[in-house]
């Protein structure tokens, strides 16, 4: 049996899924392991399983034991892995594409609605026992129905968000490196330039990957291009947003409300975020449904099994 070192907390059903196919060493439910603990724990194993908060950079990859043939990330995002260094070391790398698309798209709609309907203030009003009764002046937010939706990153996730937004009669606009074929575009309007998309987006959703190519993409200059009163949602990676610039725009009202599930440097948050009333925040729970967690485990287990039986796993990155 192949030996797996699981260096991150996983739901018990997922650990059990791995244990059906592999001899598993599970590091347990504690905080992410240090690089030293990962190196020590992975000794004598064939594969290492990590997830998004664990940075597997060139230095760590260089120290991994020679027995290791595969690196599996329990996430669709892989900006925490140095794929080039992994390939150079001869490691096959796996992730969990597709299976968390629906859950993350649902969370994006939650962020849109939570921001537009001022959920942060509404929940606080109730929980702090300050609600004195219904009035027509209380917590009026904004419709999303019929508003132009601008999606940055029209991959699987962006398209799943668009599918759901059509039910709100939102005209879909998007920006991608290249235009999608008509069957995937589904009638959406393509903007070759990000600036043109921003000018159109009454609701802006960032659904693009993290990494150096998108770092700081939504900065002061780009926020200024949004229509006044726009709503901003980030379901991709925190590094895409310049926090101080978004906070200033929320303060001024140029951005009426925002919904964020991901944060640069999480779990530490940009301090002003804690107090902005029109900011609706979730602690990176985009993919956090039981169905999705199980499907992610199944996909990784199947990918590793296919790899070791000479197949071509769909979830292999390098
Ligand atoms: C993912 O799978 O990339 C989620 O965002 C968790 O990091």
Contact 299 CB / ligand 1 (< 6 Å): no
Burial 19-54 (b: 16+ CB within 10 A, else e): eeebebebbeeeebbeeeebbebbeebbbbbbbbeb
Residue 20 lies inside a defined structural domain of this protein: yes
Residue 249 lies inside a defined structural domain of this protein: yes
Domain identity same for 116 and 8: no
Cα–Cα separations (whole angstroms), residue 290 to 11, 203, 237, 281, 293: 9, 29, 22, 21, 5
Q: Residue 133 above 90 pLDDT?
A: yes
Q: Which atom of ligand 1 is nearest to the CA of 73?
A: 2
Mean pLDDT (whole number) for 222-242: 98
Distance 248 CA to ligand 1 centre (A): 27
Distance 236 CA to ligand 1 centre (A): 8
CA distance 291 to 102: 10
Q: What is the pLDDT of residues 263-291, one digit of tens each?
A: 999 999 999 999 999 999 999 999 999 99
Q: Which atom of ligand 1 is nearest to the CA of 51?
A: 7
Contact 76 CB / ligand 1 (< 6 Å): yes
CA distance 214 to 267: 20
| pLDDT tier at 308, thresholds 50, 70, 90 | very high
User: What is the percent of the chain where pLDDT is above 90?
Assistant: 99
| pLDDT tier at 75, thresholds 50, 70, 90 | very high
Residue 314 lies inside a defined structural domain of this protein: no
Q: Which atom of ligand 1 is nearest to the CA of 74?
A: 2
Q: Which residues contact 138 (CB under 8 A, 6 or more apart)?
A: none
Domain identity same for 20 and 58: yes
Residue 317 lies inside a defined structural domain of this protein: no
Residue-number span of the structural domain to which 136 is assigned:
101-281
Shortest CA distance to 287 belongs to which of 109, 159, 102? Answer: 102
Distance 150 CA to ligand 1 centre (A): 22
Q: Kindly state the tokens that stand for 104.
A: 């993350």
Contact 73 CB / ligand 1 (< 6 Å): no
Contact 77 CB / ligand 1 (< 6 Å): yes
**Three-state SS string across 214-256, please?**
HCCCECHHHHHHCCCCEEEEECCCHHHECHHHHHHHHHHCCEE
Cα–Cα separations (whole angstroms), residue 134 to 130, 142, 264: 12, 18, 38
Q: What is the pLDDT of residues 188-210, one digit of tens each?
A: 999 999 999 999 999 999 999 99
- Rounded to the nearest 5 percent, the helix, strand and coil shares of the chain are 40, 15, 45
Q: Which residues contact 88 (CB under 8 A, 6 or more apart)?
A: none
Instruction: Based on the residue annotation, tell me whether 3 is a catalytic residue of this protein.
Output: no
Q: Which burial class, exposed, middle or buried, applies to 149 when counting CB atoms under 10 A from its CB (0-12, 13-18, 19+)?
A: buried
List of E strands, the chain: 3-6, 23-26, 47-50, 70-73, 92-94, 149-152, 172-175, 189-190, 203-206, 230-234, 255-260, 279-281
Q: What is the pLDDT of residues 138-161, one digit of tens each?
A: 999 999 999 999 999 999 999 999
Distance 89 CA to ligand 1 centre (A): 24
| pLDDT tier at 32, thresholds 50, 70, 90 | confident
Domain identity same for 256 and 129: yes
The CATH number covering residue 84 comes to 3.40.50.720
Q: For the chain, give the mean pLDDT.
A: 98
Which residue's CA is the nearest one to ligand 1's atom 4? 75
Q: What is the pLDDT of residue 65?
A: 98
Domain identity same for 63 and 132: no
Q: Kindly state the tokens that stand for 257.
A: 């409300």
DSSP per position, 97-139: -STTHHHHHHHHHHHHHHHHTTHHHHHHHHHTT------TTSS
Which residue's CA is the nearest one to ligand 1's atom 6? 75
Instruction: Based on the residue annotation, tell me whether 191 is a catalytic residue of this protein.
Output: no
Residues 71 and 63 sit within 8 Å (Cβ to Cβ): no
Domain identity same for 116 and 219: yes
Which residue's CA is the nearest one to ligand 1's atom 1? 75
For the beta carbon of residue 61, count every other beta carbon within 10 angstroms.
Answer: 21
Contact 50 CB / ligand 1 (< 6 Å): no
Instruction: Based on the residue annotation, tell me whether 78 is a catalytic residue of this protein.
Output: no
Cis amide leading into 116 (omega within 30): no
Domain identity same for 113 and 259: yes
Domain identity same for 150 and 81: no
> Exactly one of 106, 266, 302, 305 is catalytic; which is it?
266
Domain identity same for 30 and 142: no
User: What is the percent of the chain where pLDDT is above 70?
Assistant: 100
Number of domains in the chain: 2
């Amino acid at each position: 049996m192949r030996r797996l070192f699981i260096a991150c907390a996983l739901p018990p059903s997922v650990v059990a899924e791995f244990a059906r196919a592999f001899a598993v060493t599970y590091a347990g439910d504690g905080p992410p392991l240090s690089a030293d603990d990962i190196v020590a724990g992975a000794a004598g194993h064939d594969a290492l399983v990590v997830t998004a908060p664990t940075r597997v950079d060139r230095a760590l990859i260089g120290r991994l034991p020679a027995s290791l043939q595969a690196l599996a990330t329990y996430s669709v995002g892989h900006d925490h892995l140095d794929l080039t260094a992994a390939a150079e070391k001869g490691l096959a790398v796996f992730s969990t594409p597709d299976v968390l698309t629906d859950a993350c798209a649902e969370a994006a709609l939650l962020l849109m609605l939570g921001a537009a309907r001022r959920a942060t203030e509404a929940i606080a009003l109730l929980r702090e026992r300050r609600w004195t009764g219904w009035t027509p002046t209380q917590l009026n937010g904004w419709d999303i129905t019929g508003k132009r939706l601008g999606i940055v990153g029209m991959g699987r996730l962006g398209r799943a968000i668009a599918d759901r937004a059509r039910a709100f009669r939102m005209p879909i606009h998007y920006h991608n490196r290249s235009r999608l074929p008509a069957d995937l575009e589904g009638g959406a309007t393509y903007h070759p330039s990000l600036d043109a998309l921003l000018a159109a987006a009454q609701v802006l959703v960032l659904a693009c990957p993290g990494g150096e190519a998108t770092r700081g993409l939504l900065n002061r200059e780009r926020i200024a291009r949004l229509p006044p009163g726009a709503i901003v949602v980030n379901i991709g990676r925190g590094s895409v947003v310049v926090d101080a610039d978004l906070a200033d725009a929320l303060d001024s009202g140029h951005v009426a409300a925002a919904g964020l599930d991901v944060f640069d440097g999480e779990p530490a948050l940009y301090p002003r975020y804690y107090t902005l009333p029109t900011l609706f925040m979730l602690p990176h729970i985009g993919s956090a449904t039981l169905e999705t967690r199980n499907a992610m485990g199944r996909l990784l287990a199947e990918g590793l099994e296919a790899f070791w039986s000479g197949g071509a796993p769909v979830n292999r990155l390098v």
